[in-house]
Amino acid sequence: MTTLRIIIADDETPARNRLRDLLGDIANVSVVAEAQNGKEAIELAAEHSPDLVLLDIRMPVMDGIEAAQHLQLLAQVPKLIFTTAYDAYAIKAFELNAIDYLLKPIRQERLETALNKVRALQPAQLASIKPLQPTRSHLSIHERGRVLLVPIHEIIYFRAEQKYVTVRTAVREYLVEESLTQLEVEFGELLLRLHRNCLVAKPFIAGFEKRTIVNDDAQMEQQWVAILKGVPETVAVSRRQQHLIKTI
């Protein structure tokens, strides 16, 4: 029988130790790495390509539900089992959607049963638990065969350009295949739509000023722009959105 390669993700050291000890008594399994939060779990999964991730739900930095979404984007998608101390309501939701879980404190027999029936989390199942974690703390960026995690609080703006959206941070730009509309729905409280093709993070708006520009008809005109913190470029404010200038 092929050895099942496993990553344990839990922010509590005693919980990780217990899982490692329980797995040590089960044949044909190997713990290849341990993570203290969801972000570490994704990085380690990309490095080790495990067969399975035992994923705690409540963790700092990035919780298990968001980590599950990012893990589905890896080149080699691992199978997932949630470990949780959630209440009966949440566990019932997992049962109804056929999602494997282990209720803490985890018992040897229950762990073996879960390993015997382990399977990948399907997109429909993932969608069913997203309401438990409504907004992501990071974006997944695909770049040269890797998945990069960009913290939402570091993003200055999103700009739509053809079929991609440019994600701008103080360090660099990234490209994602997400729509501005979807991003606005998810992160609307953090963003302002200053132009039909641009969403700007409120904390990065330093102010507004009028500048003389050359329009598409090669005519000079006055244009309001947003001055941004951390980057030299500005963002044009459309006429329709100029009322927002007074709200900042």
Domain with CATH 3.40.50.2300 in the chain: 4-132
- φ, ψ (nearest 5 deg) of residue 18: -65, -45
Domain with CATH 2.40.50.1020 in the chain: 138-247
pLDDT of residue 126: 60
Residues 228, 203 contacting (CB under 8 angstroms): no
Q: Tell me the two tokens of residue 9.
A: 């993700």
Residue 104 has pLDDT above 60, yes or no: yes
Q: What is the mean pLDDT of residues 108-124?
A: 77
pLDDT interval class at 20 (50, 70, 90): very high
Across the chain, which distance is largest between two alpha carbons, in Å? 77
- φ, ψ (nearest 5 deg) of residue 129: -105, -5
Percent of the chain with pLDDT over 90: 54
4-132: which CATH architecture?
3-Layer(aba) Sandwich (3.40)
Q: What is the mean pLDDT of residues 23-31?
A: 94
Percent of the chain with pLDDT over 70: 86
Q: What is the mean pLDDT of residues 35-63?
A: 94
Q: What is the mean pLDDT of residues 3-10?
A: 96
Q: What is the mean pLDDT of residues 46-55?
A: 94
DSSP 143-166: ETTEEEEEEGGGEEEEEEETTEEE
Which helix (H) or strand (E) covers residue 21, if one does? helix 13-24
pLDDT interval class at 118 (50, 70, 90): confident
138-247: which CATH architecture?
Beta Barrel (2.40)
Instruction: Characterize the bridge pairing of strands 79-84 and 29-35.
Output: unpaired
List, for residues 60-87, the tens digit of each pLDDT value.
Answer: 999 888 898 898 888 888 888 888 887 6
Residue 131 has pLDDT above 60, yes or no: no
User: Average pLDDT, whole number, for the chain?
Assistant: 87
Q: What is the mean pLDDT of residues 78-101?
A: 69
List, for residues 159-183, the tens digit of each pLDDT value.
Answer: 998 889 999 999 999 999 889 999 9
Q: How far is CA 56 from CA 167, 194, 248, in A?
A: 29, 39, 39
